[in-house]
Amino acid sequence: MLPQDFLTRMRGMLGEEYPAFLESYNRERIHALRVNLLKTDIERFRAHAPFSLTPVPWEPSGLYYKAVDEPGKHPYHAAGVYYIQEASAMASAAYLKAAPGERILDLCAAPGGKSTQIAAAMQGQGLLVSNEIHPGRAKILSENIERMGIANCIVTNEAPETLALHFEGYFDRIMVDAPCSGEGMFRKNEKACDEWSPEQVLLCADRQLSILTCAASMLRPGGCMMYSTCTFAPEENEGTVSRFLHSHPDFSLVPLERGLGMSAGNPDWIPDPAPGLDGTIRFFPHRLKGEGHFLALLQKDGDPSASLRGFGRGGKEPGLSERDCREYIEFRDTFLCSAPSGKMIRFGEQLYLLPEAAVSLRGLKVIRPGLHLGTIKKNRFEPSHALALALTPASASQTFNLSSDDPAVGAYLGGQSLCADAQKGWNLITVDGYSIGWGKAASNMIKNHYPKGLRRF
């Protein structure tokens, strides 16, 4: 039951292609996942995954799967081996081309698909700030960052205007996957269809321009900013980009190379178009295996020299010395062969590891200040689930591996202790060599430390 005003506009936009576009809504929606390159590689995953998989053309780590596969129920999902993500939604982070060692902001990040994709490209090096303005969605974002084993990410819960006060000219790249009218998700999400209206499209366009303006102030000279939406509306796509460029002459569009089935943005669909709109990309579901999407890569003028980078307000976070974290150091030296690097900070009993490039977090609503290492209790340290998921088996001095088809995996994920002869003390529990949580062994028994809130009963 697509809105009539929407259909009328799409008929005018697509002309002869309109019947094919309309017919695409009668097809079963496409399912895809993205392999977490922080934990594995495509070849290893495809060799062992019990799914029917084919490649997503625009993202090397993206794979289509069949609905009957249900990868969300497999232990690999709990281990963060992949992220279930709509195929078209993988394109914007792929075209952003994040690199190790950079400072990157994902401004509208929940639920975390693009942030986790960016983090994989960064290979654990540099600083990723993932922000979400809505508290409930920010919590989901933080949980996905944790599940994917990302150590160099700070999750914030702020308005773009507040972040702009803290990070002037700071980031090398910014992802703005802007809130939109969601037209591209009508086949996937009936609620988006029910909530749509022409008035909502215009409201979204104004909000998108405001968000882009805030993001622009946080980008360093020479830096790039990806603007993406999951809507077909020209007002929110070519229109928002044009309005932004008209008010920001220090920005220009970077032409994007289109793959098979992708369409160019169309300047004829809006009044007063900015130059270069034919270098943007549109995804239409009748042309490729994916939902509706729009991409525009914007670059800020100026010398990209590192000397021109801005600094976070409040300076760098100094971190704690090892003598202030004695309990963790004892755990690390006993049970880890290698540990993530960064600056340790403490909130009550909770110990976190900030990325080396992190600035002071004072004055910001922070959901996840880096990697949660664990809890410091009286004369002992209890490692966190986040630390387990950020480690590889080679990082732990004691591991206990389960096969993904072993009933013991279900028992562990359900919170049960395991009867096993393991080395005494903390063991990193793995599934087919992928870390999934902690267990503490004693007397032929491994006590379960899988978080209660994640257990399957």
| Residues with active-site annotation | 230
Among 357, 429, 444, 344, smallest CA distance to 391 is for 429
4 CB neighbour count, 10 Å cutoff: 8
Residue 17 DSSP symbol: G
For 249, residues 6+ apart whose C-beta sits below 8 A from its C-beta are none
The rounded Cα 311 to chain-centroid distance in angstroms is 24
Alpha carbon distance 42, 56 (integer Å): 12
Residue type, 308: L
Q: Which helix (H) or strand (E) holds 114?
A: helix 113-122
Q: Helix H segments across 272-359?
A: 326-335
Q: Within the chain, what is the greatest distance between any pair of CA atoms?
A: 75
213 CB neighbour count, 10 Å cutoff: 16
Q: Helix H segments across 153-282?
A: 160-166, 190-195, 198-218, 238-247
Residue type, 449: H
Beta bridge partners of 354: 343
User: Residues, the chain, total?
Assistant: 457
For 88, residues 6+ apart whose C-beta sits below 8 A from its C-beta are 184, 230, 283, 288, 290, 291, 292, 293
Residue type, 57: P
Q: Are 373 and 383 in contact (CB under 8 A)?
A: yes
Q: Give SS3 for 361.
A: coil
